[in-house]
Amino acid sequence: MARVALVTGGTRGIGASISKALKAAGYKVAANYGGNDAAAEKFKAENAIPVYKWDVSSFEASAAGVKQVEADLGPIEVLVNNAGITRDGAFHKMTIEQWNAVIGTNLGSLFNVTRQVIEGMRARKFGRIINISSINGQKGQFGQVNYSAAKAGDIGFTKALALENAKGGITVNVICPGYINTEMVQAVPKEVLEKSILPLIPVNRLGEPHEIARAVVFLAADDAGAITGSTLTINGGQYMT
């Protein structure tokens, strides 16, 4: 029987590629999204992957959302915590709203969603949890104190949760993408991209969403059970760890 995978932020950008790659690999996929109904419906129609709308920064909404996914598809055995937002600004001008929004979605969601599935995974003695962090959680980034703090927190969350569950057949890993060719990066002015970003990337190109997705499929596999607590860096050599 196909394993059930939930991808948060799973209808656009990197998340959409992850959802499609997991489906192609034989998983029953549920794609969560937060607000763009038109994009979600288009994704659903094109890929025949069910979509579920809820705010991952809310514990109560996440509990209800996961309950619905499991009622429809079965117990979640693979969880990809991918949902993320940016609210950039220099720290001395940052508002509490900017801080809370990013911490809630990019870090708080890992607790809110993972907490709903971890007990079931422990009972079944199998689980794959894959968190999507960022190069900026590893090295920091000007104007992204909130984002960098959240993404660094994702890495710490991964390591601690991996330790707690290693004996129970549950792996927990984190992927740190660099600059990936998504809508967000495409919105950067071409001149800035070519003069200020690409020169910092040794492979001299942006990463592609499907390259992140392939890594997720690898970590989600049944035979990846010896890999846990790991940070997989995919950034074209921009930041080497």
Q: Which residues partner with 31 through β-bridges? A: 7, 51
Question: Is 179 designated active site?
Answer: no
CA pair distance 24, 42, nearest whole angstrom: 18
Type and span of the H or E element at 131: strand 127-132
Q: At 193, is the secondary structure helix, strand, or coil?
A: helix
C-alpha 73/C-alpha 75 separation (Å) is 7
Q: What is the dihedral of CA 223, 67, 14, 144, to 10 degrees?
A: -110
Token digits of residue 146: 């909130």
Taking every pair of Cα atoms in the chain, the longest distance, rounded to a whole number of angstroms, is: 53
State the catalytic residue, choosing from 27, 33, 147, 179. Answer: 147
Scanning the chain, the segments in alpha helix (DSSP H) are 13-24, 37-47, 59-73, 96-103, 109-124, 135-139, 145-165, 183-186, 190-192, 209-220
Q: Name the token pair of 54.
A: 């809820």
Pair 236, 141: CB distance under 8 Å: no
* 135 neighbors 177 (Cβ within 8 angstroms): yes
| N-term to C-term CA, the chain | 38
Residues classed as catalytic: 147
